[in-house]
Structure 1
């Protein structure tokens, strides 16, 4: 079994990413940005992609990438979650990049790895790894016709990877026939868009089973690495709340000295510790090509999504009145946690997938008095 502890290189990467985010993405700047017309911080993205080379971490060096692995990508996801950074890392550097790696599309992969272009996988953000996205129609030309609702990180994208009925296509996001409409989403730091394709010119990059496998690989990687982002969200919530309850006084003593507060934060710490373990396992399976990667990703999402929500809720509640205000960043983390819990499959969906992948029998039902059905394992 792999060592899931962070090695020296991963810790050095964390320090570099955290230093850049601390300098250029404080929560005050993020709060100000989501009130404006440009929720994404593309200047920050340019620094992450250009200065640190994060856009191409898992891409081989011969294709312009860093030649690292998905464990390193997971460390970056943790730090971006900890900062709720408004950048298209998950959409471009994870989902789109993994799809391109799977289907061997070198030219576009090189452009993404160097940060010259941003891509988005045009499937609804709620799509689970075991789902089959509804395809658009491909007609001779080739051009694409159809619509895809709720695509994450589509608005800043230069290229859309679109699932059609005969394969996976690359579409210029600014081409004639492509229309993207922002939709109201809970998380203003990761916006969604409805994509409409009306005879949009396209280039097929994978066909048949290769296209299906590339999309499944991308969604599995997304679910596995979203778990690391959720760990970062929960980590910030715990650290910030512990600092608050140590300094906030009621009845002449810090509120952190009250037993109910201690127990609540102890529960969050336990959840976070367990969440980090399953997220690291999922990232390691992804990095090593473990045949149980799909199972590890389902386990990570089934646990980490709810752990992040619980930590964010505790953060808001234990901050008292200030935690419910727009001026405090707690709501950014609660919204990121809540939206992440719906992304790439809900926890219930992943538990069902986990049971299937582990060959667990489905629950049996028995009839109670008055015709009530209850589950019995």
Structure 2
């Protein structure tokens, strides 16, 4: 059986596309082992996908603070050793990384052990791990518009974000009913990715009554550390009732997004890909402290393509007016929805799997030829 090692832990934005690729490769007869972190978000998300093997690997984010830098180097070394052991014992034909600290150990170990390595970068500004490992990667998958000088040009492929097979758009009315919302009222979804976003959570809390007075239902995903999980019904001045729900996490993002008439979101690449797939017009509020400010560049491309609008966090006071204007105009949202349909890249995981299979075959044939030449000598 053909085997692949996929390093994708740390955040939902890394783990979800790793699972999507594993689903595609498994459908083609590959055995996939996923390397994840010890974080809670990883353990929750993988519970649904029991068909894969998992192993938690040590890893810490890169920081130049002395204590954190020591922790990063220690975990990188421990992760590298663990990945080397896994590679030597299981003999994968490919090692694929989806960015983040878990990928660094796996890709370094793969290259050291002579296994073809590939890395997928979802953001418009490639991260540190991608910049480091692209120097020796056999494949580097980048979104359209991204530039990476460190990678060899013949190794670069432009593809979108792999999405899990379950991620399909549902009927808006049906999705609202499943979640307990009124299908005849508009629904605003506020979320900050798997980690949550304190600024967006606070905004939702402060403006929930105004939204409900305007007959707008609200669903806010606070994230694991958001500190809020409640459901409330608020009476508006017009004696109608609209529902507001705050919840930490949901494994049903396809349903949540399908139900939403408008989303307010951070600008992580995974969140944007999911918004596009479910055709949800969005107001993107990039996390201002993201590495290399990559969320701002993600948001700018999304806006340029016509999927929504950008609101920087320092301009968050204007967010309510923007949201009310967009959600009240069916014409504006319909136009954005048409643009989102044109933006969708449904076959990303298939394109990546096709290319990886070619890479593995070429590598195996090359190794076989080299062995035959050595034996002849």
- Shared fold (TM-score greater than 0.5)? no
- TM-score, normalised to structure 2's length? 0.26
Q: Which has the higher helix share?
A: 1
- TM-score, normalised to structure 1's length? 0.26
Higher relative contact order (CA 8 A, sep 6+): 1
